[in-house]
A and B are shown apart, each in its own frame.
Chain A
Amino acid sequence: MIQQERMAVVQQEQIAKNIYELTLQGNIVQDANPGQFVHIRVSDSFEPLLRRPISIANINKEANEFTLIYRAEGRGTEILSQKQIGDEVDVLGPLGNGFPVDAVAEGGTALLVGGGIGVPPLYELSKQLKARGIRTIHVFGFATEDVTFYEEKFSSLGDTHYVTVDGTFGTKGFVTDLLGELTPEFDTLYACGPLPMLRALETFYPEKQGFLSFEERMGCGIGACFACVCKTTDKSEKDYVKVCSDGPVFAKGVVKL
């Protein structure tokens, strides 16, 4: 169920250049699933006015806490990055439909591909897949070493490969370059990242089952404002989907890329 709650800041830490890890405590945590997001109001004033959608990276239901990883690059996320332990944040969530964890049979293998700030939701996904006895392979692309994070954490869950565009960390190039070399065997693809990456993955694995998480500029976050629509490939029922409420995760092939 979608709730609005003032969640408590439990921890806030910078983990890479302009990348922050924020842990919040509150009841919204109990309904959260991997791949879902929350919509955060960073200030009680009119400036900035709108909420900021941020994906959930790590869920700890026992502690009633979840972790968000975000890049501080605009006014809203900069204000968020200044929140300290004990502060409260106005959160609406959990929102959207996350990754289907049960799409892979026990004993199967999942390939998780992420790009930049699209990597965080794959962490909770990987944890839950592993808990179900599924092997995970992680292939993550970043611009440069400064903005990479969570390599150790992902390595503890499965095979982990990092790629940077400038070659300062891991292999040099894009995720598809490395996937071409690795030719991993897997049953299901899960991906989150920029549109060109998702597009490349669809052509790279035309036959495989897969789930892609999209990002789009949002207004309300609950499906009412029609800001974040994408065209679909199959127009028989509806020629569009809303990223916030129909997604952000869609089965491969649903959204016209």
Chain B
Amino acid sequence: MSNISVQLPGLNLKNPIMPASGCFGFGKEFANLYDLSKLGAIMIKATTVEPRFGNPTPRVAETPAGMLNAIGLQNPGLEKVMSEELPWLERFDVPIIANVAGSLLEDYVDVARRISTAPNVKALELNISCPNVKQGGITFGTDPVVARQLVEAVKVVSKVPVYVKLSPNVTNIVEIAQAVEIGGADGITMINTLVGMRLDERTGKPVIANGTGGLSGPAVKPVAIRMVYEVYKAVEIPIIGMGGVTNAQDVIDFMSAGASAVAVGTSNFVDPFVCPKIIDELPKKLEELGVKRVKDIIGRSHR
């Protein structure tokens, strides 16, 4: 059997598979379906200082081989995540990556300071790429100077390694990746969704109440692979890759391009058992390739 464990800053992963933030809530729904200890890690839903209701509905729309969403960072707020959601997740043997969001730099700092003290939070993921909120989110992720300053401020207060989730909605993603690396980021997660729009056939108006939404699913995988490939060449820090992952071959593709681990997003909505299925499938796929350790394929596209 191939060894599928990987080590990243703050994270000793028994396998490189984790559900992506926003596609898994805080785990409760999926815990009814399978043992969450099976997962490499869990990226929990974005947490903000105050509770957020999010955007009006409709919030999702299907597109060819994908979907648009504009949930709007709905979450119960830092207090509840600290007192209820994270302690509940302690029953599982799985590291948590806490996705941190906010409108102002101070919000990110406040959430990071507090949430990084939770015993099961082993890393943070700074959400500087949410396309569906009016303030914050993507505005931090499209300017390299702003992105670097945010990482520097969060690094001062965080007790655990800090990963930064990059937006694909930029002219040059490499420039942002290098900026957050200089700012002290311990790793990069990529990619968030691509801003898109679907129109109603009858009215000609956007289907999603927010107008635009973030495109995800198999349709975005080639874009994500290309971006991981480029960023891997330009930075030293590890990458957690994501974008349209549905099976073990997709995981191998992302790791070949340069990802050290892989997150599964939209596929959790199509098949809630997709993560354990991929974890079971991966060793067999690696054996077919004659690979003994999954870490050996990281970046093989470049060799």
Contacts and interface: CB of A to CB of B under 8 A. Distances in A.
A47 B29 contact: no
Contacts of B61: 217
A226 B54 CA distance: 9
Contacts of B266: 49
A51 interface: yes
A165 interface: no
Given A48-B62, A49-B217, A227-B57, A219 B69 contact: yes
Interface residues of B, number: 35
A41 B65 CA distance: 13
B54 A217 contact: no
B272 A220 contact: yes
A69 interface: no
A92 B30 CA distance: 13
B69 A224 contact: no
B33 interface: yes
Contacts of B53: 229, 231, 239-240
Contacts of A239: 53
Instruction: Name the prevailing secondary structure of the B interface residues.
Output: loop
Interface string B50-75: 00011001111110111101010010
B58 A224 contact: no
B71 A50 contact: no
Interface residues of A, number: 30
Nearest to B266: A49
Contact of A4 (B32, B246, B273): B273
A225 B269 contact: yes
A230 to B, nearest CB: 8
Given A2-B32, A2-B33, A49-B217, A225 B60 contact: yes
Given A50-B67, A226-B74, A239-B53, A217 B29 contact: no
A49 B57 contact: no
Nearest to A41: B270
Interface in A218-246: 218-231, 239-240, 245
Contacts of A47: 64-65
B33 A224 contact: no
Contacts of A2: 32-33, 272
A50 B25 contact: no
A245 B65 contact: no
B29 to A, nearest CB: 4
A96 to B, nearest CB: 12
Given A2-B33, A224-B268, 12 more contacts: A46-B65, A49-B270, A50-B67, A51-B269, A216-B57, A217-B59, A219-B60, A226-B25, A226-B71, A227-B57, A227-B71, A230-B57
Interface of B: 22-25, 28-30, 32-33, 53-54, 57-62, 64-67, 69, 71, 74, 217-219, 246, 266, 268-273
